[in-house]
Amino acid sequence: MAEPFLSIQHVRKSFGATTVVEDFNLDVAPGEFVSFLGPSGCGKTTVLRMVAGFEEPSAGKIVVAGKDITRLKPNQRNVGMVFQAYALFPNLTVAQNIGFGLKVAGMAKAAIDSRVAEMLDIIKLPQMADRYPYQLSGGQQQRIALARAIAPKPKLLLLDEPLSALDAKVRVSLREEIRSIQKKLGITTIFVTHDQEEALSISDRIAVMYGGKAEQVGTPFEIYNRPATKFVANFVGTLNVLEGTVTDAAAGKVRVNAQEVALQGKLNGSKSGDTLSLALRPEAISLGWQPGHDTSLSGEIAEVHFLGSVIRVRVGIGGNTVSLDTFNNSTAPPPVVGEKADISFSSGDMLVLH
Amino acid sequence: MKSGRFWAWVVFALGAAYFFIPLIATVEFSMRMRRGAYSFDAYQIVLGDERFQATFMYSVVAAIFTIILGVLIVVPAAYWIRLRLPQIRPVVEFITLLPLVIPAIVIVFGYIRMYGSNSPLPFLASDTGTNALLVIGYATLALPYMYRAVDTGLRTIDVRTLTEAAQILGAGWGTIITRVILPNVLIAVLSGAFLTFAIVIGEFTMASLLNRPAFGPYLQNIGANRAYEPAALAIIAFAITWGCMSLIQILSRFAPKSANRPN
C-alpha cells in the first residue's frame, strides 16, 4: 500500500477492567472505503469513536495524513461523522443543519449558501432546504446527515451504522448512494456495520472484528472466499460445516461419514486421527455431478423449500446436513424428501477451519 | 358504565367547586368596597398605590435576575450531568429538592449569620449586596422547579449524540450549549422561568427578613391593615400566576420539533 492516509497503530481501549479493543492495527489508503464488520460488542464502534476523538485510546496511536491525532479533541480533527440516530439538530432547518459546520468554521454567508446548495444537489434533495428534520423520512434525514458531515470537506468520513435504523429497501438504495458519493468525492471512509451484505457490497476492504480484535482484513472477495479464521467463515455468508477425521495426513485424506475426501495441501499440521471442521459455501455445492467438481458425497434429501426461482435443498450426510440452492427448472420436478442424492464440489472450495 | 360517568362528573363538580367557590367569593368580596354596588374601587386603589407599583417592579426585577441566575446555573449543570455524570443524577435531584423541605426562614437565618457585615463575604453590608443575596436565595427556592423543568426538557433530546454531532462539526462547548442544547430545551427553560417568576412575585419570608421592599411583604402589610384591597391583590396575584402558566402553554407551540416529538 502507498503511504496510508489513516493509520491505527496498536490501539487498545479499556473501560475499567474490561478491555474492549485489543492491539488493533489498520492502515487505510487515501480515498479507500473500509468497513468494520462484526457482531454487537466486538469493539468496532469503539475504534470508530477513537478515530473521531470521542474516546481516548488506552494505548497506541492514530495518525491521519502523517499527523498524530490521538490526543486531539473531536472539534480539532476535521473529521466528518454520520450517526446511526441521524443526530440532526431539531431546531435547525435542513439548510442550517448542513451549514452548521461551515458557520462554526467562520465561513461567509454567501459561501455557506453556495456550499449548502451544492450538498443538497449531491444528495438529490434540493427542494428540502427549508424543512425541519421532523418533516423528513428516515432516509431523507440520513442523507441530510451525510451532507452535513461532508459539507466542511473533512479529511476523513466516519459512518457509524448509518443504515441500521432504515427499512430494507431504503437501506439498499442509500448504501449505493453513499458509495457513489464517496467515490465521487474521493474521501477516505470508515463504515461500521454488523450487516455482512452491506459490508461486502460497498467496501474496498473489510476488517472483520471479534472480541476487540481484527480477525481478518481483506477485500470482500478474500473475506468471503478465503476466511482466515473459523469466526470469519461463520460470520460472513452462509456456511456448511462438516465434521471429518484425518485418515492419512500425508496424502491429505479426510473421512466424512465413511466417505473419503482428498484435501491436498490444506491440512497444515494435522495428524492422522485428528478431527477437523470442513466448510463449504452453498454455492460451491451441486446436486449430482457437475463438470469441474472432483469430490462427491452421498446422502439423503432432508428438506426441500421451493422459493420460486430458487429451490433450497438440505441434504443429510451422516450426522451432517449440507444446504445448497439450485435454480428452478420448469421441466424437472424438485427433489423429494427421503430420496438418495449425491452432492458434488471441488475440493479446492473446501475450507479447513482452524 | 353510565353510572361510572355520572360519579366521575360528580367528583369533577366537587373538585371544581372546591377550587372556584373561594375564588368567586374573593372576587365578589373585592368588588364590594362601594356600599350597595359592585365596583372596581379596591382594584383602582391597589393599582394606583405607589407602593404597589414600586414593590411589584422590585419583585419583577428580582424575578428576572433570579431566572437569569437559575438558567446560568441549572442548564449547564443539568446538561453536564446528563452528558458526563449520569451516575450522580439521584444525588443532584435530592440536593435540588432540599429547598422544599428546608423552610425559607432557616435558609434566610443561615444567610444572615453567614453573610453579615463581619463575614468575609459581607453581602448584607450594602443594599446591592442584600439585593444580590435575595436573588441568590430566590434562585435556591426555585431550584427544584427549574432543575426538574430543564432536566425533563433534556430528556426529550438525545443530548449525547447531538453534542457529539456538534463537536465533530467543529463546535466548542459555548456553541454547543447556546446553539444546540439551549434552543432545544427552551420551552422547558421557559416553564422553569415562569414557575420561578410566580414564586418570586409572592415570596414573603426572605424579602421580609432581609428587609427588602418586595411585593410579598407589601401583600402581607395590606392584608393586615385593609379589608377589600387584600382580596383585590389576591385576585391580581392569581391573574399574574395564571398569565404565566398560559404563556408557557402558548410558547410551547413554538417549540423546536423533533422527529420523535413531531406535534
For A40-67, write each residue's pLDDT tens digit. 989 999 999 999 999 999 999 999 999 9
Q: Which amino acid is at A120?
A: L
Q: Is A280 helix (H, G, I), strand (E, B) or coil?
A: strand
Domain layout of chain A by residue ranges: 6-235, 240-328+335-353
Domain layout of chain B by residue ranges: 50-252
Instruction: Confirm whether A6-235 and A240-328+335-353 share one CATH topology.
Output: no
pLDDT confidence tier of residue B102, bands split at 50, 70 and 90: very high
Q: Is A143 helix (H, G, I), strand (E, B) or coil?
A: helix
Nearest residue in B to A151, CA atom: B169
Compute the nearest-CA separation of B150 from chain A (Å).
17
Nearest residue in A to B160, CA atom: A87
Angstrom distance (rounded) from CA B207 to CA B56: 13
pLDDT confidence tier of residue B249, bands split at 50, 70 and 90: confident
CATH code reported for the domain at A240-328+335-353: 2.40.50.100
Q: A89 in contact with B at a CB cutoff of 8 Å?
A: yes
Interface pTM (ipTM) of the complex? Answer: 0.82
In A85-212, which ranges are continuous DSSP H helix? 94-104, 109-122, 138-150, 168-185, 196-202
Q: Which CATH class is domain B50-252?
A: mainly alpha
At CB < 8 A and 24+ separation, what contacts does A62-67 make?
A62/A6, A62/A7, A62/A8, A62/A9, A62/A11, A63/A4, A63/A6, A63/A7, A63/A9, A64/A5, A64/A6, A64/A7, A64/A155, A64/A156, A65/A5, A65/A155, A66/A3
| B257 closest CB neighbour out of A86, A90, A104 | A90
Q: Which CATH class is domain A6-235?
A: alpha beta
User: Could B170 and A134 be called an inter-chain contact, meaning their C-beta atoms sit closer than 8 Å?
Assistant: no
How confident is the model at residue B23, as a pLDDT?
93
In contact, B153 and B181? CB cutoff 8 Å: no
Residue ranges with strand state E in B39-154 = none
| B169 closest CB neighbour out of A53, A86, A100 | A100
How open is the CA angle A180-A186-A189, to the nearest 5 degrees? 80
Angstrom distance (rounded) from CA A256 to CA A243: 7
How confident is the model at residue B257, as a pLDDT?
57
Residue ranges with strand state E in A194-319 = 205-210, 213-218, 240-248, 253-256, 259-262, 275-280, 286-287, 295-306, 310-317
Mean pLDDT of chain B: 89
Q: A289 in contact with B at a CB cutoff of 8 Å?
A: no
pLDDT at B260 over 70: no
Query: Whose grid coordinates read 426441500?
Result: A304
How confident is the model at residue A354, as a pLDDT?
63
- Interfacial residues of B (vs A; Cβ cutoff 8 Å): 157-158, 161-162, 164-172, 175, 180, 183-184, 256-259, 261-262
In contact, A189 and A52? CB cutoff 8 Å: no
| B259 closest CB neighbour out of A74, A81, A134 | A134
Angstrom distance (rounded) from CA A58 to CA A19: 9
List chain A residues with pLDDT less than 50.
Answer: none
Chain A residues whose CB is inside 8 A of the B256 CB are 90-91, 132
Residue-wise pLDDT tens digits, B123-172: 888 999 999 999 999 999 999 999 999 999 999 899 999 999 999 999 99
Residue-level length of chain B: 263
Compute the nearest-CA separation of A26 from chain B (Å).
22
Half-sphere exposure of A168 (CA within 13 A, CB side): 1
Half-sphere exposure of B110 (CA within 13 A, CB side): 9
Nearest residue in A to B184, CA atom: A91
Half-sphere exposure of B186 (CA within 13 A, CB side): 14
β-sheet bridge partners, residue A300: A316, A340
pLDDT at B255 over 70: no
Compute the nearest-CA separation of A87 from chain B (Å).
5
User: Could A79 and B171 be called an inter-chain contact, meaning their C-beta atoms sit closer than 8 Å?
Assistant: no
